[in-house]
Amino acid sequence: RTIGDRIGEAKASGNLGNTLKILGQFDEAVVCCQRHLDISREQGDKVGEARALYNIGNVYHAKGKHLSWNMAQDPGYLPQEVKDTLQKASEYYERNLSLVKELGDRAAQGRAYGNLGNTQYLLGNFSEAIAFHKERLAIAKEFGDKAAERRAYSNLGNAHIFLGRFDISAEYYKKTLQLSRQLKDQAVEAQACYSLGNTCTLLQDYEKAIEYHLRHLVIAQELGDR
């Protein structure tokens, strides 16, 4: 501010906002991220504007998750305050998405689609969540980003469960399992086995369910995860 560096001030405000978000000070975080947005617009800095929109979405997303954790409710069954907060997150992600499309930034589009999928899932809009996660999946494959691809499969599996499409969920979870083994991520492998065990139970394939739950148990013991 002293040297009149507006872009520098915008970036610093954005960084402050992100830090306050991590500290759980969501309302202060929004103020800082909004300053990042306002200055970026004033300076005609489209990249900064996109980043600020994304960051504000993240703050509302984190706030919504924080509020819903305290209530431990199923997706879709949320108090109005939580719904409004997640709806705001979704709106900022949408604005970010249209701007990064304009800028032709595919990686940023992938991040926006993933977060839109997650907010819609929490809001109980499972079909919308699926559409966004499919877009996320396509971009992850485009970039050969195996970790993002794995997350997309997992999220697609979760959303299909709530639509009662257990067989489709099982296919997505199997892909999650395959990738977690490729990535040598045992904790995620255990999680995938757990999801597959539950899905096989819903499909009344009890033999398979036992197999997956035993695998989950073995990994949990290996990792010393009580």
Nearest Cα neighbor of 74 from 201, 184, 162, 181 is: 162
The domain limits of the chain are 1-144, 146-225
Are 1-144 and 146-225 the same fold in CATH?
A: yes
Residue with tokens 């004033």: 42
Looking at domain 146-225, its CATH superfamily turns out to be: Tetratricopeptide repeat domain (1.25.40.10)
Q: Lowest mean pLDDT: which of 71-80, 172-181, 183-192, 196-205? A: 71-80
pLDDT at 75: 78
Kind and range of the H or E run holding 52:
helix 46-69
Model pLDDT for residues 25-73, shown as the tens digit of each residue: 999 999 999 999 999 999 999 999 999 999 999 999 999 999 888 776 6
> Can you give the pTM of this predicted structure?
0.93
Q: Which residues are CB-neighbours of 4 under 8 A, at least 6 positions away?
A: none
Mean pLDDT along residues 205-223: 97
- Candidate CATH numbers 1.25.40.10, 1.20.1560.10, 3.40.50.150, 1.20.140.10; the one for domain 1-144: 1.25.40.10
pLDDT at 70: 73
Mean pLDDT along residues 115-126: 96
CA pseudo-torsion sign 171, 183, 189, 215: positive
Tell me which amino acid residue 67 is: L
Mean pLDDT along residues 138-157: 97
Mean pLDDT along residues 126-143: 97
Model pLDDT for residues 66-109, shown as the tens digit of each residue: 988 877 667 778 889 999 999 999 999 999 999 999 999 999 99
